[in-house]
Structure 1
Amino acid sequence: MTPGRGLGGGPGSSDDDAIPVTVLSGSLGAGKTTLVNHLLSNAGERDIAVLVNDVGAVNVDYDLLSSDDLPAVGVAELSNGCICCELRDDLERAVVQLADGKEFDHLVVEPSGISEPGPVARQFINGPAAARYRMDAVVTVLDTPQFLDAFAGEGTPERRGAPTDAAGDETADEAARPLSDLLVEQVEDADVVLLNKADLCDEAALAEAEDLVRALRPGVETVRTEHSAAPLERVLDVDLYEHRDDPDGDTVGADAGSDDQHTHDDHGDHDHDDRHGHGEGHDGHDHAHPDEVYGVTSFVYRERRPFHPERLAAVLRDLPASVVRSKGTLHVAGSDQRLNYSQAGPSVRVEAVGPWVDAMSEADQELYRANRGDGADWHDEWGDRHTELVVIGVDLDETAVRARLDDCLCTDAELEDGTGVDPAEWLPERTDEEEAAVVSLA
């Protein structure tokens, strides 16, 4: 058994036996799942297990990471909840079961984009998981252009708190804080910050972003990345978490402090509980979930009937500003390809990832369905073809967004004669050199 594998850690155990844990943080669409994909694809001899938490009822990131193409030792999912409270027991069970069932060298935990990383990390310090694991680092992935849009020109980024009216009083929606506050929290809790999407910024902008990050978290490691392609030695096995300092200059170790003291996460002279809406600490029942604090809601759009490609492209180019993030699977008329869709702010990507089973030969269909057990989700008319999208936003008008997507669906007449359906104009053909064709609709 190699160091870091199997059981160990906790009181009376050597740290060498404990499995190191990296907790990822970052805003919706910053590139966390892309980073996990990169780590798995370049792991070499290192065996990595992954636990992923998503905002919506459908865990899109889990589906992407659990594919046969990625060499993860194990992938566990926790969906539709906050892993520092609602799903806390589920997290503890999942990480213990992973350690019991498989041998691996490193655990990567990817909370949702509206999670605060501190409470998640502390569960590997003080909870039952501490007997098997040790915290290695919190790695925050920044959408650098978004971060600069929020804080450029400020000496030190500040929380803006609940919205106020013209008189400076908190509005009726006082529980909802701007997502920029969450960005501050995610940087303050970081041991390593990836300045992702660096290719979209010039040198002056990147230098300013680094200054802003270090104003929030002095001495933090920063790495400029494109498509989250960070060198593995900068984010895994860095042993930074337990050697961080608290504001008083004391080294914070695995035995220091407790959940209620928030030892790892108090930066500066502001009160941790007040700024997050955590009434009784993370062990109490008055903890305010991030979705409540930041006013984030989500819904899932499901449909068997295919989209008209031109109408869908027009809608995806002009999503309401309230839609912060959307992702999932698209069924588009005229194409036999399953399409993975991802949107974050103004950036939209559609990637062909292989044919629908329904497009295969009858013999291949039977073999595939027998091996995968997909028969239960087979539609008489459409086979396995379907659309399943998670839409996440702030002040989201679900009815209006659903109506716009419904308007993109093909009519019976369009399906009969194919009028206006020209997938060649919307999705380029795959080539031998490309593993998947990508359409940029930004």
Structure 2
Amino acid sequence: MAGLADHDVAQEIWLASPGAVLVRHDLRELAQGIVRRWVDGELTVLELAHGCVSCTLRLDLLPLLESLGGRVVVHLDPALEPEAVCFALREVDVRVDAVVSVVDRATWLADATGEDDMADRGLAAADGDDRTVAQVVVGQAEFADALVLVGDDPDPVLDAVLDRLNPRAPRRDRRGLDAAALLAAVPADARRGRFDDGFGALLRGQPPLEPAHGVAVVHFTARRPFHPVRLHDALDVLLDGVVRTRGRVWLVSQPETALWLESAGGGLNVGNLGHWLAAVDDWSDEPAERRLAAAAHWDPEFGDRAQELVVITGSASPDEIAAVLRDALVTDEELALADELEFADPFAEWRDESNRNDEMEEL
């Protein structure tokens, strides 16, 4: 159960889950090493040697879930993102039945397109937490298997965004919520906590591609690399009037490395996904799904290397975004001389230091 909106939805889900235990954490004093945890209403104050989210998960939540057994409803602190929690759960014998997030109609769109840091709201998970509110609320809604909307007035723009951000998640209004029916409506093939390695389908759930209420989807693909400097200069187009960007990036300066680019509102991250299959000889350790997808779209010259970005726009122009990204690709001459030219690369640090899985572990 996730979301910045503070409502009693977790309580209703718990009541709709006979025999389940309700667990809730309060991380407002995490920077001081203090975590408050309730299990079925019984408070325990924990003092951790290191005030960080990963320590809270590793030292408390994971062993607690294993010890409880049976069904548990976990009400996540607003500072926690369900994707990072589910990534951590891979270490224990726990199955996720559903992730439910709350979306506040009155604030969600402004939060999702804004530039406020979590620290600006007093919601930072620890010192040095530089996540934006947009990154958190968009991630919470995107990773959910079901969504509960609170607030009085339906918003067609918000509905259009959610249709494209998470098209398969059933949505219900908080008023008159039937929690059992909501959980029953979660599709059988829903994510249910499964972590995306970055090489899967980006148009998950087949979102509508036609514009609605000013909201549009840009699906940018190309079979040639980006020029690193021009792409770096182009990133501003993804930070103004854009709700979400996700996708794989191929740089001419890093022919062996697949980069992951992700933005929400005014926040942007770049991570290292690892190697393109075209850059290695042995595929035996690669997931079967990735091998099949690569083989199905194999290019005789570039292999599985390709650009693919999905951008959900709010007020930004889809045509401008596509044009700016297209202009950031290398020219025919640059591509022909790629092995001879030295490209300045603002993204070099991500090739050497950043890994998308490591970022999940740090949260």
- Please give the TM-score of this superposition, normalised by the length of structure 1: 0.41
Larger radius of gyration: 1
